[in-house]
């Protein structure tokens, strides 16, 4: 049985889900022993421990020039000690170029089969990847397992399915027969989906797997070779994924350099060298807006970016304001605000929020939000695991500075005790009240656990400010609470013009930070927060070009 035949039913289900946008998940998101094995968690933890202070020797990239690694665990507050084989840009490009010319000849079906098999290898290592993610990013265990494991695998499958469908959208051959009266013109025509060349995928420090696999698998599925350039602070999770891809490539007599890992160090980064190289045709990037905009401006490149944004919450009215406060408090606390979809600007009318039992004033809601944040932080069975740890020391500095923002400080950041990791780098949210006229304060991303409660004249001004922030500075997510159908439609319409998706009236166990593969488009590509979307057709079709040939039919 071919690998494609082995995985064909899953690919077909994934394609169906792309069209229906209904719930579909090929990989179980709960670390259940019945699904993954009784000892899978413990085994994964031990395997992660064994990787510390050692060379990562699983890659099939040979003749390394050195071994480097500078990762630090936000939980241990000490270096991981893992090192990885390092190669010059020239070597990486040369090998990528050579492997490209063999990989592009592989049929879409065979490519899909190989890539699906690599996801099976990744699945067998979800727990290793989870611990590697925890100790490079600071994510809590459950988020690290889900985001870097099953959710990332689903996003990779989504890219495979989208690419496979687009590569098969048109026939490979056809006989073109045009009546001309007394005779016909007949041409044999063929069409080839020609991949663009070498792809560079630039990873981030907070979601090294989830944010990278779509570009990796999107480019590989469409026939391009890939160089994966992780953030120096978060290499291990994606190194495991690349190792699994290389393993399957080699097992199927393919060049493992079709997908290479390109590591560097903070003091000698190779990102610009790779991005600017004339042989690199495709670039995927997640990170800050300044570098993303630089990449977008490079000539001769097709670039897919997810940059920073200013995410808003519009509060108009609610059935149960306590449930709203609880939901938003969780969103603020989740991974200490280090998600690109985390809410920052909360627009609240000065007259308060309308409820069935009357108005809840600005101050009353602010206090409810603060109380819910504190309640979660102080819950030893939940708080430390929801907040996780802070990936970058600079984020802690930013939180301290946020307390100096002009306005009433409703909540100061504080430390808390992590029951498992007493040296964990932590920072709880800071909440500051800001007047709606002070746009210079809230018109930029304040990455980390920082929330601004912005007092507006009314809901119309809240909507206008949220829309303006998205248009001018970008937004990846938006939350809104209203019991009015007219207000709901106005918010939906205005934010749609700002290319920003809105989550309405979320309470309970679903939060505006979360996006689901096969259903939610992550980033729209329509505002400054990024120029691409996981995963619409354009995300894969821009990675190859249709080229047609024709010849008269021989009589």
User: At 58, which CATH number?
Assistant: 3.40.605.10
Q: Are residues 126 and 37 in the same domain?
A: yes
Output the pLDDT for position 253.
97
Q: What is the pLDDT of residue 163?
A: 98
Query: Strand pairing partners for 185?
Result: 178
pLDDT by residue (tens digit) across 263-308? 999 999 999 999 999 999 999 999 999 999 999 999 999 999 999 9
Token pair belonging to 276 = 């600017």
**Cα–Cα distance, 258 to 309 (Å, whole number):** 33
Tell me, what's the pLDDT at 417?
Answer: 86
Q: Are residues 296 and 357 in the same domain?
A: no
User: Tell me, what DSSP letter sits at residue 289?
Assistant: H
Q: Does 175 lie in the same domain as 54?
A: yes
151 within a domain of the structure (yes/no): yes
pLDDT at 108: 98
Model confidence pLDDT, tens digit, residues 310-341? 999 999 999 999 999 999 999 999 999 999 99
* Residues 205 and 233 sit within 8 Å (Cβ to Cβ): yes
Residue 538 lies in a domain: no
> Same domain, yes or no, for 359 and 441?
yes
Examine the fold and report which residue of 249, 280, 307 is the final residue of a domain before the chain moves on.
Answer: 307
Helix 3-20 to helix 108-123 angle (10° resolution) is 90
pLDDT of residue 173: 97
**Residue 16 covered by a domain:** yes
Which DSSP string corresponds to 384-422? HHHH---S-HHHHHHHHHHTTSSS-EEE-------SS-T
The domain that holds 431 is classified in CATH as 3.40.309.10
Which residues of the chain have a pLDDT value below 50? none
Nearest to 439 by CA among 408, 473, 413: 473
Is residue 376 domain-shared with residue 482, that is, in the same domain?
yes
Instruction: List b or e across 256-277, with b for residues whose CB sees 16 or more CB atoms inside 10 angstroms.
Output: bbbbbbbbbeeeeebbebbbbb
Q: Which of 263, 281, 307 is at the close of a domain? A: 307
User: How many domains are there within the chain?
Assistant: 2
150 and 259 co-located in one domain: yes
Residue 297 and residue 376 share a domain: no
Task: Return the SS3 of 64.
Answer: coil
Token look-up 């051959």 returns: 173
553 in a structural domain = no
- Domain end point (choices 307, 322, 338): 307
Residue 523 lies in a domain: no
- Tell me which residue range forms the domain holding 460: 312-504
- pLDDT value, residue 295: 98
Domain shared by 295 and 381, yes or no? no
Q: Are residues 344 and 298 in the same domain?
A: no
Question: How many angstroms separate the CA atoms of 537 and 6, rounded?
Answer: 25
- Quickly list DSSP for 454-476: EEESSHHHHHHHHHHHHHHH--S
549 falls within a domain: no
Q: Are residues 256 and 274 in the same domain?
A: yes
Residue 520 lies in a domain: no
Same structural domain, 258 and 399: no
Q: Of 406, 432, 448, whose CA–CA distance to 346 is shortest?
A: 432
Flag whether 537 is in a domain: no
Q: Are residues 239 and 326 in the same domain?
A: no
């Amino acid at each position: 049985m071919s690998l494609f035949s082995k995985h064909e039913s899953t690919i077909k289900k994934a394609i169906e889900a792309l069209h229906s946008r209904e719930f579909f998940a090929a990989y179980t998101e709960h670390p259940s022993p019945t699904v993954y094995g009784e000892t899978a968690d413990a085994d994964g933890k031990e395997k992660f421990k064994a990787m510390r202070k050692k060379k990562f020797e699983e890659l099939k990239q040979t003749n390394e020039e050195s071994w480097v690694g500078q990762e630090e665990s936000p939980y241990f507050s000490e270096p991981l000690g893992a090192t990885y084989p390092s190669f010059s840009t020239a070597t990486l490009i040369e090998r990528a170029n050579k492997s490209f010319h063999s990989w592009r000849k592989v049929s879409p079906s065979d490519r899909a089969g190989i890539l699906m098999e690599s996801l099976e290898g990744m699945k067998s290592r979800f727990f290793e990847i989870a611990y590697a993610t925890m100790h490079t990013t600071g994510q809590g265990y459950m988020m690290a397992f889900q985001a870097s494991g099953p959710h990332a695998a689903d996003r990779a499958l989504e890219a495979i399915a989208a690419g496979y469908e687009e590569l098969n959208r048109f026939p490979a051959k056809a006989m073109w027969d045009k009546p001309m009266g007394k005779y016909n013109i007949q041409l044999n025509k063929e069409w080839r989906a020609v991949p663009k060349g070498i792809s560079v995928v630039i990873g981030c420090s907070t979601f090294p797997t989830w944010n990278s696999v779509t570009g990796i698998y999107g480019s590989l599925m469409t026939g391009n070779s890939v160089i994966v350039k992780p953030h120096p602070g978060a290499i291990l999770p994606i190194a495991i994924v690349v190792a699994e891809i290389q393993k399957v490539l080699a097992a199927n007599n393919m060049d493992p350099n079709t997908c290479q890992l390109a590591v560097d160090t903070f003091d000698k980064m190779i990102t610009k060298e790779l991005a600017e190289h004339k042989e690199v045709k495709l670039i995927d990037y997640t990170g800050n807006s300044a570098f993303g905009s630089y990449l977008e401006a490079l000539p001769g490149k097709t670039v897919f970016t997810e940059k920073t944004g200013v995410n808003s919450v519009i509060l108009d009215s609610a059935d149960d304001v306590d449930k709203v406060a609880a939901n938003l408090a969780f969103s603020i606390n989740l991974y200490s605000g280090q998600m690109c979809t985390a809410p920052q600007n909360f627009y609240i009318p000065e007259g308060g929020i309308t409820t069935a039992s009357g108005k809840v004033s600005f101050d009353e809601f602010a206090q409810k939000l603060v109380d819910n944040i504190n309640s979660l932080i102080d819950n030893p069975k939940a708080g430390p695991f929801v907040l996780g740890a802070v990936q970058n020391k600079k984020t802690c500095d930013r939180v301290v500075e946020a307390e100096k923002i002009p306005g009433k400080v409703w909540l100061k950041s504080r430390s808390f005790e992590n029951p498992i990791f007493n040296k964990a780098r932590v920072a709880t949210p800071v909440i500051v009240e800001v007047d709606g006229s002070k746009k210079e304060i809230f018109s930029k991303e304040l990455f980390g656990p920082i929330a601004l409660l912005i007092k507006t004249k009314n809901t119309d001004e809240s909507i206008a400010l949220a829309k303006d922030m998205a248009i001018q500075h970008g937004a990846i997510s938006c939350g809104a609470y209203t019991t009015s159908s007219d207000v709901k439609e106005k918010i939906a319409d205005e934010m749609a013009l700002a290319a920003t998706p809105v989550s309405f009236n979320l309470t309970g166990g679903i939060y505006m930070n979360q996006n689901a593969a096969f259903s939610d488009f992550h980033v729209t590509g329509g505002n400054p927060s990024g120029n691409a979307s996981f995963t619409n057709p354009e995300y894969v079709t821009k990675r190859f070009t249709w080229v047609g040939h024709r010849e008269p039919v021989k009589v």
